[in-house]
Amino acid sequence: MTDIVGGPEAQFRAFLKQGRFMIQRSRSTGKHVYYPRVAVPGSGETDLEWVPAAGTGTVYATTTNRTREGNTNLAIIELDEGPRMMSRVEGVPAETVKIGQRVKARIAVEDAAEIILFEVLA
Amino acid sequence: MTHPIRGKTAVVGIGTFGCGEAPGWSSIELMCQSAVLALADAGIPLHEVDGVFAATATHAFPTMSVAEYLGVKPRYFDGTNVGGSSFEQHMLNAALALDAGLCNVALICYGSNQRTASGKLVPLSEPQPFETPYKPRMPMNAYALAASRHMHQYGTTREQLAEVAVAARAWANLNPEAFMHGKPLSVADVMKSRLISDPLTVLDCCLVTDGGAACVMVRADRAKDCAQTPAYLLGAAGANWHRTISMMPDLTVTACAESGPRAFAMAGMTQADVDLVMLYDAFTINPILFLEDLGFCPKGEGGRFVSGGRIAPGGELAVNTNGGGLSCVHPGMYGMYLIVEAVRQLRGQAGARQVKDCDVALLNGNGGTLSSQITALLGTAATL
């Protein structure tokens, strides 16, 4: 941590660059936070620490972008820790992704930046 | 107890210009031409404008641009930008400023030449660091995600979404000014049109048009003496729960579940008092969500509620009688047109689509990705 400069977003991205999907957790309340922030949204606790995300979650909402280049998924994933995040579910045809499906995160590099994508859990 | 600003101000002038296609017209020209028409409609000379309210997708400082272009020197101005719902917020803010005596004639205006200038919806949004990397196609994907969740949770169907588009088109066919006037549409047409972001087809999405629109507000004491029948502001309230769709607390519940009751309370009214419902229909899922959240049907029942022509001409509830953003006009920030149509209906100037005995209109502006919701109630003198 000490070698990471900047705010919560920069720290999150630095972890990703190291291959680690970390999320924030409030020490006093145990509440998890994504996306990274300076305080827990709504209640304001500032005692946020970084913890490894389980990386597992459930598809909360999903759509398929149908373009001339093909179909791509876009989804909102509810992480097992509670917070939701935008991502894509890959590895299966985009239009077969269903709400309620269990998914697991992986770190990918796209446009020279690390991002978190999801795959369907068998 | 009557709310202190209920009925204290009124919309006394409306104007639109260049709706549909306006080749060769700039956004500021469309906006200010509409403003000139709105002032003429009200019978108020330009030099009396001392309050300016404006928002566009292309002006960093829209109130400065409007003031300079028209050559007015406002002493109160507000460029609040909450997307397509900006103008409902401007109405509320103008009412406060007028009532407090901070200005006497409030001009609210908007203009966009997105169709002829770019051919697509002009986004005004900066990149969102936790969404943009996934390459979402916004705003469409946000509404598709909400629709996917509503279908999953409540069994809403693509046919029910299509009913919203079909009702809008039927109203547009009664409105000669609607961009899609004269082009009939059936549920089957929508169902077989091209899917672009499941479950939404191209016909589930709003139009991309040009257009300017404006309105003029004054205090009720002056409104009585204006050229047109006043539309009094009876209540208005906003609510904002998120910015990006992935942070929306529940994709099936919008913030008008909060703004609606507050607007009704200010007006001292209920759903049963409403003769016309004007909902920001950027996508077919919107009216379904808003009818639920505003209390016109129970949560989850919106799809069934809009079916069978209930919100179409001749149906039980008049919704989006101009044809809406889906079939009338959508230059990017449609909220100004909710006001224009409500005022026309309250005046009895809506021609073939006129709602009988229209005394109360509810407007629900939507901004961002179901983010900002501003609900307002306008009424005739009979409601005071």
Same domain flag for A21 and A70: no
In angstroms, what separates the C-alpha of B155 from chain A's closest C-alpha? Answer: 13
- pLDDT at residue B123 greater than cutoff 70: no
Residue B69: predicted pLDDT: 98
Q: Say if residue A68 is in the same domain as residue A100.
A: yes
User: Quick check: B198 and A63 CB within 8 A?
Assistant: yes
Specify burial of residue A72 (Cβ count, 10 A radius: 0-12, 13-18, 19+). middle
Quick one: tokens of B359?
A: 């005394």
Q: For the residues A42-61, what does the mean pLDDT come to?
A: 98
Task: Record the pTM.
Answer: 0.97
Domain-located, residue A3: no
Helices (H) and strands (E) in chain B, counts: 13, 12
A97 and A63 in a single domain? The answer is yes
β-strands A32-33, A48-52 pairing:
unpaired
Residues A62 and A111 in one domain: yes
Question: Does A2 map to a domain?
Answer: no
Nearest to B255 by CA among B125, B375, B93, B83: B375
A36 with A86, same domain: the answer is: no
Q: Do the domains spanning B9-118+209-230 and B137-203+235-383 agree at the CATH topology level? A: yes
- CA–CA gap between residue B344 and residue B154 (Å, rounded): 36
Q: Do residues B328 and B179 make contact, with C-beta atoms less than 8 angstroms apart?
A: yes
Average pLDDT of span A108-119: 97
Residue B179 DSSP symbol: T
How much of chain B exceeds pLDDT 70, in percent? 99
Strand partners, A72: A65
What six digits make up the tokens of B334?
Answer: 């449609």
Q: Which of A61, A85, A95 sits opposite B145 (nearest CB)?
A: A61
Is the confidence at residue B180, as pLDDT, over 60?
A: yes
Which ranges of B79-213 does DSSP label H, i.e. alpha helix? 86-99, 114-118, 140-154, 158-172, 187-191
- Neighboring chain A residues of B195 at a CB cutoff of 8 Å: 64, 66
- C-alpha triplet B69, B75, B79: angle, nearest 5°: 65
Residues A35 and A65 in one domain: no
Residue B168 DSSP symbol: H
Q: Does residue A2 carry a pLDDT above 90?
A: no
> pLDDT tier at B1 (50, 70, 90 boundaries)?
confident
Total structural domains in chain A? Answer: 2
* Residue B178 CA neighbour count, 13 Å, CB half: 30
Phi and psi dihedrals of B195, rounded to 5?
A: -70, 130
Q: Where are the domains of chain B?
A: 9-118+209-230, 137-203+235-383
CATH fourth-level superfamily of B9-118+209-230: Thiolase/Chalcone synthase (3.40.47.10)
The confidence band for B185, taking pLDDT boundaries of 50, 70 and 90, is: very high
- What are the residues whose beta carbons fall under 8 Å from the beta carbon of B116, sequence distance 6 or more? B21, B22, B23, B24, B25, B210
User: Containing domain of residue A80, as a range?
Assistant: 56-120
Query: A14-43 pLDDT, tens per residue?
Result: 999 999 999 999 999 999 999 999 999 999
Residue pLDDT, tens place only, B41-61: 999 999 999 999 999 999 999
Tell me: do A75 and A111 sit in the same domain.
yes
pLDDT of B125 reads: 79
Instruction: With cut-offs at 50, 70 and 90, classify the pLDDT of residue B259.
Output: very high
Write the pLDDT tens digit of every residue in B276-319.
Answer: 999 999 999 999 999 999 999 999 999 999 999 999 999 999 99
| A1 occurs within a structural domain | no
The closest of B248, B16, B62, B212 to B139, measured between CA atoms, is B248
Query: Using 50, 70 and 90 to split pLDDT, how confident is the model at B93?
Result: very high
Contact A99 B149 (CB under 8 A): yes
Pair (A100, A68) in one structural domain: yes
Q: What is the ipTM of this complex?
A: 0.96
| Of the partner residues B195, B199, B246, the one whose CB lies closest to the CB of residue A86 | B246
**pLDDT tens for each residue of B7-21:** 999 999 999 999 999
- The domain defined by B137-203+235-383 folds into Peroxisomal Thiolase; Chain A, domain 1 (3.40.47)
| Contact check, Cβ <8 Å, A66/B194 | yes
Question: Band of the pLDDT at B261, cuts 50, 70, 90?
Answer: very high
Residues A85 and A99 in one domain: yes
Position A3 confidence tier, pLDDT thresholds 50, 70, 90? low
Same domain, A90 and A113: yes
Among candidates B187, B143, B139, which has minimal Cα distance to B165?
Answer: B187
CB B310 within 8 A of CB B352: no
A113, A80: one domain: yes
